[in-house]
Structure 1
Amino acid sequence: MSIKLATLIQSARVPFLILAPVSVFLGICTAYISAVEIDWLHVALAVVAALLAHISVNAFNEYMDFRSGLDLKTERTPFSGGSGGLVENPAALNGVLVMAWATLLGTIAIGSYFVYLRGEALLWLGAIGVLLVVGYTPWINRSPLLCWLAPGLGFGPVMVLGTHIALTGDLNGLALLVSLVPFMLANNLLLLNQFPDIDADRVSGRRHVPIIYGKSASLALYSFGVLVASVAIIMGCFLSLLPWLSLLALLPLSLAITVVLGLKPLLRKSSATWLPFLGRNVIMTLVTPLILGVTLLLG
């Protein structure tokens, strides 16, 4: 494997790409139980589009953070600080930019096909998705509220609702409710992963929640996000939108209690002490939607 290709793969942040198909999986599940005949080619296209979009936003982030010098100041962890691929091989800079645009164009091409097939609702969701991909690094992370909301919008409403509409041509209350879970969990995922980058991000002009309001306030916002996700699942069961079996999704969500209680006394300590709890949060973010989707199918 050439050094440039290795850097491109590294800059795509392959280990982080799991969340995209997990979010699409939820949309597939809501579509499947809506008594609509599923076209499995469309399922494959939805998964590919989500992966391409995720690679694109990662590659744009890698390119811009290296160009700004942020990657040279950041202490990388398994959950934050970028891949470091361009720091090790700056010659691949233009290749990473080409990858960012190529994957974005691939996403737009698949999205355009579904817009042609399903209509205007997907056009608006797709436009939001493109704005999130292109605008996250240069603009969105200058606003604490937008920076917190952006990941959840992408992995929640855009991917879950986009998949559901692409497969069914319609939207229902179940898909809307279910999209709240990855919406809150993805927001929380990035929120905690910003903790190790606070100092470097502040110097580079970013203004996300941990910088502006501090880590304690961020943990309170994190707790709010978990509460909303939990209430969405419980209310879905009471409203008969979800089977009672879906309460099993609350089990991985309970990891959030250990994350908050574990991080709180460590906020003034080094970032290395936070890593076990950041890892737990990643597990919760991935497993909760998976269990929710499986229980939808079984219930």
Structure 2
Amino acid sequence: MKTATASSGGGLALWWEAARPRTLPAAIAPVMAATALAWHDGVFHGAAALTCLAFAVLIQIGTNYANDYYDFVKGADTAARVGPRRAVAAGLIAPATMKRAMMAVFTAAFLVGLSLLQFGGWPLLVIGVLSIVCGVAYTGGPYPLAYHGWGDVFVFIFFGLVAVAATYFVQAGTVSTGAWLVGAGIGALATNILVVNNYRDIETDRVAGKRTTAVRFGPVFAQLQFALGHAVMISVVVGLGALGVLAPWESAVLAVTGAAIGARQLQTLRRTTDAPGLIALLGATGRYVALMALLLSLALVW
């Protein structure tokens, strides 16, 4: 299937737009925070950390390309869409071209991942393959995760727990309690990006049969889930303080910062009904993931 106006390719700006740069903090944040924790624990390994960063970003871009392709094929992205434009649905890139780009990016991620085996052995191969499979299965395959309400779980696990634990593991050779806590916090905030996205698309997703958690349980549930994501991150920094990973004052500053920004963003989510406002909140949510990861990283390497 191909739209009448779809081109067979596109300029770099178009491919960058299709990569959805607003979502990239979800890939960068866990690697940065895990690497800062490795530095704090005296096990930092620069080459391993950079390789993890490259793998994470490629997985994120590959997943976004897959979403662009499969959401169009399944009818979730149409002219009625209220969010940022999608390259295939807008007729800017042909479906077949996007599919090839998706495969190319995931292949590049696999090759980059292979270089991590020297740091962590075969378990990393399993993690890498699962990351790619789930990146495709997020919106593709016989049981697309996002269409059955499992997208939130996917993001929390792979852009939180797995990303942080794997990045820490390739540097330390083990996974600490602190790493699991950081993974939970970053994963919760990354999931909030998806919550805002799904909240905005409730009506169009319902028509397309895309049963996200926001569609299945309604906007009030999505608001509660969004609040829970912030609460998890606040609990994590408090827990890191209790473990002695962070100084008490560092833990307090991060907790207060998280509570203040989280409350403001939740208020915005509850009061905003127009698409432009929710798109702006989506960008702010992504930036907040990056901000908290940066502040946490600075506290860990201080």
Aligned residue identity for 2:95: L
Corresponding position of 1:291: 295
Distance change >3 Å, CA 18–CA 225, structure 1 → 2: closer
Aligned residue identity for 1:218: A
Q: CA deviation at 1:141?
A: 1.3
Corresponding position of 2:36: 29
Q: How many residues align?
A: 289
Tell whether 2:76 aligns with 1:70.
Answer: yes
- In structure 1, stretches of 5+ residues that fail to align are none
Q: Is the 8 A contact 1:31 1:164 kept in 2?
A: yes
Picking from 252, 257, 269, the partner of 1:247 is: 252
TM-score by structure 1 length?
Answer: 0.87
1:172-216: CA deviations, max 9, x gaps? 111111111111111111112212211211122211111011101
Tell whether 2:66 aligns with 1:60.
Answer: yes
Corresponding position of 2:21: 14
Secondary structure in 1 aligned to 2:10? helix
Distance change >3 Å, CA 275–CA 63, structure 1 → 2: closer
Q: CA deviation at 1:59?
A: 0.5
Tell whether 2:269 aligns with 1:263.
Answer: yes
Secondary structure in 2 aligned to 1:4? coil
Corresponding position of 1:113: 115
TM-score by structure 2 length?
Answer: 0.86
Paired with 1:89 and 1:278, the residues of 2 have a C-alpha distance of: 24
- In structure 2, stretches of 5+ residues that fail to align are 1-7
Corresponding position of 1:208: 212
Aligned residue identity for 2:24: L
1:31-84: CA deviations, max 9, x gaps? 22221252x23222111111111110001111112222322244343xxx5x42
1:247-292: CA deviations, max 9, x gaps? 33230442111222333344xx433444454444333222111111
Secondary structure in 1 aligned to 2:291? helix
Corresponding position of 1:168: 172
Corresponding position of 1:143: 148
Aligned residue identity for 1:205: G
Aligned residue identity for 2:120: R
Distance change >3 Å, CA 36–CA 61, structure 1 → 2: same
Paired with 2:56 and 2:244, the residues of 1 have a C-alpha distance of: 29
Q: Is the 8 A contact 1:152 1:186 kept in 2?
A: yes
Percent of aligned positions that are identical: 21
Q: Is the 8 A contact 1:74 1:197 kept in 2?
A: no
